[in-house]
Structures are given as structure tokens and as C-alpha cells.
Amino acid sequence: MPNTQEISSKNKTFIPILIIAGLFFIFGFVTWINGALIPFMKTINELTDAQSYLVATASYISFVVMALPASYIINKIGYKKGMSLGLIIMALGALIFIPAAGARTYWMFLAAIFIQGAGMTLLQTASNPYITILGPIESAAKRIAIMGIANKVAGALGSVIFGAILLSGIDDIKQKLDLVDATEKESLLNTMADSVVTPYIVMAIVLFLLGILIRKAPLPHVEADPIKASETGGKTKSSIFQFPHLWLGVLALFVYVGVEVIAGDTIISYGISLDIPVEQAKFFTLFTLMAMVVTYALGVFLIPKYISQAFALKFSAVFGIVLSFCIVFTNGFTSVLLVASLGFANALVWPAIWPLALTGLGKFTKTASALLIMAISGGAILPLLYGKLVDVKKEQLIETGLDTIAATIDSATFGYWVLLPCYIIIFYYAFWGHKVGLKST
């Protein structure tokens, strides 16, 4: 039976957990609409596969550019004000979609996505360590799993809503584009581009209001536990470079975010490449995110009472390796379902890596958190690599005499080989990497 102190502690953290979950809901909604934006941008800007995945690159590369500045800002103004500022920056990014749609200029869309990503960097650099150290480190993965549920439910809503707004009727428009003259083609594409204006105005208003409201939210001040001197009389660590388990965690998180984004952001385009109608394919990101929500719910129930954070990571890595092989050796809708099933393998990786990587960091927690946030840039690079592999393989297959449709299908599946080395790195961190440099107690 829990004692009075435990009950009091849970009551104090309940409201803050709900508020942070709301923030995870927001950047989940914004992040996972990329799955719909990628085929949308590909059509209105007439892009190749690799070029279309610059949508993900623009979103996630901001985590490299902004993570250390975000850490500096949070050190200066604190977690709460950092979250507020992040939301307001995201609102500004949403507003830039309006002139971008008017000009139908790809770099302007990418700039808007980058600015939103910069706001999310600040928001995540504040909220992830905050929720990690809000309670006992042993149950951090459980709290982060709750955040994951909020994030992925929002992502599912975002992908469905924006899929309906941006992708409905896109098959008919593509057919018309092949038949009309240049003037009418320009008119059709401009009309299609304008469909982003209203939803992004609404998004900007909501984000700005939430940025103001979060300043008044009842979030208690928290700090990580100080680094303890070793029992053998050794000195406490004085540099972030003295924590190899952190740096290995950054690498593991880098490849993890890459495979998570590939699973969520490529699946709609993948389904379209397999000649599945857009009206069906636009829901495929939802499959991936729902798989993650189910697994997050299991994590909330199982961690740490029945399984440890490290065990959850081990299982996820092994399952990811198995699914990677299954995807590239299957085809059709079965392969799509296997890509969606990566959600089961991916869900508990983020919640497990964060507390494992932040173990023993003490005063370096904010800087370490910034480094882990920088690892989100894996979502910028690996989907782009997937798109490049698809483009190169497609050209090779066409040169061998394969028809365009068959080459498109085979190359789209071939691109998923990029998953395998990523899950092998996660596998290493799960079994050995998270213990490197840490003395056993």
C-alpha cells in the first residue's frame, strides 16, 4: 500500500504531467502532419522523391541548429518560459505558410517548416528533461510513455485531418495535370496550394494563445539531482565529455528518430508508390501512430513494475531488426502493414533512452538534454537517405529494362534497407552502450 508521502508526491505531479502532456500533444500534431505534407508538396512543387523528403529535413534539421541555443535560453529563463517561447515561435512558423502558399515557392514552405521546428526544439529541450526529472528516474520511461500517447494521438489526428484537407482528390488533380495546358496547370496547382492557408491560420492562433497561457500554468520548479562523488574518493566529473553512455545515447536516439520518421512520414508515399489509391494511403500514417499508442499504453502499465527501461529497449531493438528484414522481403499491402508495425518497435525507444542517457548527469542535465534533442536531426537525414536510395534504385531498374511502375514499386521497398543498421545501433545501446562509463553499484 502506498504511504502518505507517495500519495502527496503523486498529487503534486499530476497537474504538471497533464500540462506537459498537452505540450506533447501540440508538437505531436505539428510533427506528424509531415506524412501528408510530403506527397502534397511533391505534387504542387513537382518534386522528385528525394526532394519531397526535404519537408522532413527542414523540420528536423532545426534540432541541430537550435538545440544548444535552446539549452542556453532555458538556462537563462527556465523551463516554463522556454516552453512559452517555443510555442510562440511555432506560431510564427505557421503564419509563414500563408505567403508561401501564395507564391507556391518550395523554399518558403521549407523555411516555415524550419521555423516551426526551431520552436519545437525549444519546446522539447524544456519539456523532455522536465518530465524526466519531475519524479523518480526509475519511472521516467513510464511518464515519457504517457507523453508519447499524447504525442501520437495528436499525430494521428493531425495526419487524418491534414490528409483530408491536403490529399483529398489529389489523384484526380494528378490526372488533370497531365492533360491540361501550362496556364491551366498553373491555376490548378495554385488552387491546391491555397488549401493550406486556413488550417495554418487556425494553428498559428492556437499556438500563440497557448504560448501566453503556459506562462500562467502551475508548473513547479525542478532540477536534476547533483552528481555524487564516487565512494572511492574520486573526483566528481567536470565535463559533458566524461559521460560516454550519454554520447552513445545521442547516437542511438539519432538513428531511432530517423527510423520513427521513416515509418510515419514515408508510409503514405510508399503506399502511393505501390499503386494504392491516395484515398486509402492517406490513412497509413494513422496505422503507424496507433501502433505506437498501443505500445506506449503497455509501457505505462509495465514500466517499472514488471519490466525495466533497459528491457523495453532491448525488446524494441530486436523487434525492429526482425521487421526490417520482413519489410524488404515482402510486397504490396503486407509490406505497408509491416512498415506500420514499426510503430510497435519504435514506441518505447524514446522513453527508454532518455532516462538511461541522463543517468548520473546532475548539473549537466540541461546540456545533455540539448545534445539528445540535437539527435532528433536523425529525422532530417535518414528519410532523405531513404528517398535518395529510392531514386537511385529506380533509375538503375529502369536502365535494366524494367517498366516504370515495377521499378517504382521495387525501389520504394528497397529503400527500407536503411532501417537495418539503425536498429543494430539501438540493439548495441540497449544491451551494452547505456552502461559504458557508469560504475555498477
Q: What percent of the chain has pLDDT over 70?
A: 92
- Residue range 236-255: average pLDDT? 88
Between 373 and 393, residue with greater pLDDT: 393
CA distance readout (Å), 428 to 30, 208, 419 = 31, 42, 15
Of the candidates 272, 214, 240, the residue with the CA atom closest to the CA atom of residue 26: 214
Between 166 and 201, residue with greater pLDDT: 201
Between 9 and 61, residue with greater pLDDT: 61
Count of alpha carbons within 13 angstroms of residue 243, beta-carbon side: 26
Q: Among 99-108, 147-156, 195-204, 384-393, where is mean pLDDT lowest? A: 147-156
130-152 residues labelled b (16+ CB within 10 A) or e (exposed)? bbbbbbebebbbbbbbbbbbbbb
Helices and strands in the chain, H and E counts: 20, 0
Q: What percent of the chain has pLDDT over 90?
A: 33
Q: What CA–CA distance (Å, rounded) separates 164 from 297?
A: 27
Q: What is the 3-state secondary structure (H, E, C) of 267-335?
A: HHHHHHHCCCCHHHHCCHHHHHHHHHHHHHHHHHHHCCCCCCHHHHHHHHHHHHHHHHHHHHCCCHHHH
Determine how many CB atoms are found less than 10 A away from the CB of residue 425: 18
Q: Which three cell numbers stand for residue 17?
A: 504531467
Q: Give how far the C-alpha of residue 39 lies from the chain's centroid of Cα atoms, to the nearest Å.
A: 18
pLDDT > 80? residue 169 = no
- Residue range 164-172: average pLDDT? 81
What is the predicted pLDDT for the residue at 231?
A: 39
What is the predicted pLDDT for the residue at 291?
A: 92
What is the predicted pLDDT for the residue at 221?
A: 66
**Angle at 28 (CA atoms; ends 375, 357), nearest 5 degrees:** 35
What is the predicted pLDDT for the residue at 111?
A: 95
H or E stretch covering 80: helix 54-103
Q: Give how far the C-alpha of residue 185 lies from the chain's centroid of Cα atoms, to the nearest Å.
A: 34
Q: Which amino acid is at 107?
A: W
Express each pLDDT in 71-111 by its tens digit: 888 888 888 888 899 999 999 999 999 999 888 889 999 99
Between 224 and 243, residue with greater pLDDT: 243
Helix (H, G, I), strand (E, B) or coil at 10: helix
What is the predicted pLDDT for the residue at 10?
A: 56
pTM of this structure: 0.75
pLDDT > 70? residue 162 = yes
Between 120 and 170, residue with greater pLDDT: 120
What is the predicted pLDDT for the residue at 230?
A: 44
What is the predicted pLDDT for the residue at 235?
A: 56
What is the predicted pLDDT for the residue at 322?
A: 97
pLDDT > 50? residue 361 = yes
Q: Among 119-128, 200-209, 211-220, 232-241, where is mean pLDDT lowest? A: 232-241
Express each pLDDT in 171-226 by its tens digit: 788 788 778 888 888 888 888 888 889 999 999 999 999 898 888 877 766 665 55
- Residue range 120-144: average pLDDT? 78
- Residue range 347-356: average pLDDT? 88
Express each pLDDT in 251-261 by its tens digit: 999 999 999 99
Of the candidates 282, 213, 399, the residue with the CA atom closest to the CA atom of residue 33: 282
What is the predicted pLDDT for the residue at 226?
A: 57
CB 389 within 8 A of CB 417: yes
Q: What CA–CA distance (Å, rounded) separates 297 from 239?
A: 37
pLDDT > 50? residue 129 = yes
Mean pLDDT, the chain, whole residue set = 85
pLDDT > 60? residue 233 = no
pLDDT > 80? residue 301 = yes
